[in-house]
Chains A and B, each alone.
Chain A
Amino acid sequence: MKGWKPSPPFLLLLPAIIVLAAVVVVPLLLSLYSSFTPFRLTRPETFWVFIGARNYINIFTNRDFWAAFARTVVLLTVALNLEMLIGLGLALLVEKASRGQRLLRTIMMFPMMFSPILVGFQFKFMFNDNIGLVNNALQALGLTDRAIPWLIDGNLAFIAILTAEIWSSTSVFAILILAGLLAMPREPLEAARVDGCTPWQTFRYVTWPFIMPFAFIAMTIRSLDVARAYDIVKIMTDGGPAGRTELVWTLVARTAYSDAKMGLANAMAYFSILLSIGFTVYFYRKLAAARTQIAAEW
């Protein structure tokens, strides 16, 4: 026997580390390098030319990029907050239901089974100005007499995308918060009621602290996957009209594949990665704080 014996947690984590290093870390180092080159798909030899931070300087002076960046942050903030609120509401509604809870849970999971690309198609179909369900319904109800150009007007398209995004992701929150509600011990609730708490107080001071970690797990899961909005936008508007719904990710894809400017696209991609990391770190800290609070109180 040799002197050093690997600890059990290290051994348990080793497979995860190996896979992630091979598939994520190494390729990312490669793309980090290529973000310092003028690499173009059409000219492979440019991969070996080093131009320093010129791509990054380009980005800093690029208005389109900052517009897309700001739009992405706005979309994520609005969408995540609304998803959280609606998800919490849904979970509470379902938990209260006396009958058919299993059926309700299944229905609630429904949007999660839709691939983002399907969500995009489906809402593109429904928001279609000519044959879409939304316009048809509005016209049939007499709320409007002309076709609303949902996906053609910049602001309306943004709302349409937001709707699709919220529809597809609220269930993640609802399901995890519901799991939290069902896992909650009954005694504190009963104790609160015996002590004369109003329903609001019971929710605010007993239920909410308990389900908070679950809510933050949901938040973090979502923030891990924020870039799936790419699929939705790609299908619904492809960044149009005239770049009014362009997000960071569609801009990266356009720069990389349509304009073939790989180096520049990789530099942009690093900004989008930083954005995702920012969101995740933020929620992770919240989650950790919520967990320690629970550990202290229960």
Chain B
Amino acid sequence: MDQNSIHRVRRQALSIAHGVTLFLAMLVICLPGIWIVLSSLRPTVEIMAKPPVWIPQELSVDAYIAMFSGVGKGGIPVLDYFRNSLIISVTSTVIAIVIGMAGGYAFARYRFRAKSAMFLGLMLTRTVPGIALSLPLFFVYARLGIIDTHFGLILVYVALNVPFTVWLIDGFFRQVPKDLAEAAQIDGCTRWQAFWQVEFPLAGPGIASAGIFAFLTSWNEFALASQLTRSINSKTLPVGLLDYTSEFTIDWRGMCALAVVMIIPALTLTFIVQKHLVGGLTSGAVKG
């Protein structure tokens, strides 16, 4: 065999190995999710069966119907929880992004005293574990009377997300060369215009990814929400999931169904923004 064909064979073997590894990795990532979706569609008897039933014999959406049919029929008020989750997550994400953009821009573009200490200080506020923070917040909120309101939870989530968005957005603004904005200013833009028309579009993917992170953090948060919410006024889905376990012993199928409901919005949102997420980063002027 000449050297060329050896190389070709090796290259092919490598590419097959690459494909197989990739497939296995993706399988491990997907399997738990697939299993949840599948279990939500199967009757409880089949989930509990011993020896296990691998191929589903019958599929039904009973669990979903039971879930959305309201409190009276042994369901939980999923629609209310869903609405609460959505309002709280979206509002807090938008506010956190606006605040985070201002902060991130300040860190990426200006020099000022105690800059790195300040940055670290911001981050450290985020490290406080939710469970440690829930306790004093509960007192403060009880005094202010904002327990079990959307406002209270939005406020916490903004604070939770701000350090994080500042961090990410700072990093992405750093990727945009300073010269571009300076060039725009020389060409007659104001600083404000230079920001909106040059730097903002280039940092857009980063800001989008910061937004996703912030949304998911709010959407998924449990430790604080479980303390600061009481009723359908403001309970979010993760807290609602816990309702399920206390009312019934453990209804695996019902919980799987609620899990699917929780994931769908996050999945949709991520899918919509993800094309801005990584791809646009290197395009355009940064490279040239």
User: Could you tell me which A residues sit within 8 Å of B by CB distance?
Assistant: 7-10, 12-13, 15-16, 19-20, 22-28, 30-31, 34, 89-90, 93-94, 96-97, 102, 104-118, 121-123, 125-126, 130-131, 133, 136, 139-140, 167, 171, 175, 178-179, 182-185, 213, 217, 220-221, 223-228, 230-231, 249, 252-253, 256, 262, 265-266, 269-270, 272-273, 276-277, 279-281, 284, 288
Contact = CB atoms under 8 A, between A and B. Distances in A.
Contact of B129 (A94, A167, A178, A272): A272
Contacts of B129: 226-227, 230, 249, 252, 269, 272-273, 276
B103 A16 contact: yes
B13 interface: no
Interface residues of B, number: 93
Contacts of B122: 16, 20
Between B107, B222, B263, B271, the greatest number of chain A beta carbons within 10 A of the residue's beta carbon is seen for: B222
A259 B163 CA distance: 33
A112 B135 contact: no
6 contacts: A15-B102, A114-B33, A121-B259, A182-B278, A273-B127, A284-B123
Given A118-B241, A266-B135, A230 B155 contact: no
Nearest to B263: A113
A24 B132 contact: no
A113 B267 contact: yes
Interface of B: 18, 21-22, 25-26, 28-33, 35-36, 39, 47-48, 50-52, 54, 98-100, 102-103, 105-107, 110, 112, 116, 118, 120, 122-133, 135-137, 139-140, 155-156, 158-159, 162-164, 166-168, 171, 175, 209, 213, 216-217, 219-223, 237-238, 241-242, 252, 255-256, 259, 262-263, 266-267, 270-271, 274-275, 277-279, 281-282, 287
Contact of B26 (A96, A104, A230, A270): A104
Contact of B271 (A22, A30, A93, A106): A106
Chain A binding site: helix, strand, loop or mixed by DSSP?
Answer: helix
A15 B95 CA distance: 10
B89 to A, nearest CB: 11
